[in-house]
Amino acid sequence: MLVSGALAAVLALVPPAFAAPRAPAVPQDKPQVLSGWTQPDAASQGAWAAARENRAAWEPYAFDWSTDYCTTSPDNPFGFPFRTACARHDFGYRNYKAAGEFPAAKPRLDEMFHADLKRVCARYPGARRASCEGTAWTYYQAVKAFE
């Protein structure tokens, strides 16, 4: 019994030859960072855009940055550049789904998307702005109804 106990103690000190490398721990503030980047305000949009440009700095957080932009809808309908708003919307959807918190976050993510689209439309004057806002409303209604 003493020999097997001593053997067990020695073996406990030796790492298994085929042990999988440990995955680095995801920072504990990941939910707060994700929330901060998925709010409807312009500051949140700017922070997300800056992080997206410097994704390497955020690798420890294991965010899903993948996007299909506006899925099967045009990314630039009638010349309105909605592509980045669609990418941020994808970011929110994919990361909240991965966290298992999508149902609670979806209404805010859809509102964030609409706010991003309206900021695009704010660049245009008069009838062009009205056309853009109508298109933005259509995109917003589509994401509210689907997914």
Which positions are catalytic?
89
Write the single-letter amino acid at 5: G
User: Rounded to an integer, what distance in angstroms lies between the CA atom of residue 18 and that of residue 16?
Assistant: 6
For 78, which DSSP code?
Answer: G
Residues in the chain: 147
User: Rounded to an integer, what distance in angstroms lies between the CA atom of residue 82 and that of residue 78?
Assistant: 10
Judge contact between 120 and 132, C-beta under 8 A: yes
Judge contact between 66 and 90, C-beta under 8 A: yes
Nearest C-alpha neighbor of 88 from the set 129, 47, 130, 29: 47
**For 89, how many CA atoms within 13 A lie in the half-sphere containing its CB?**
26
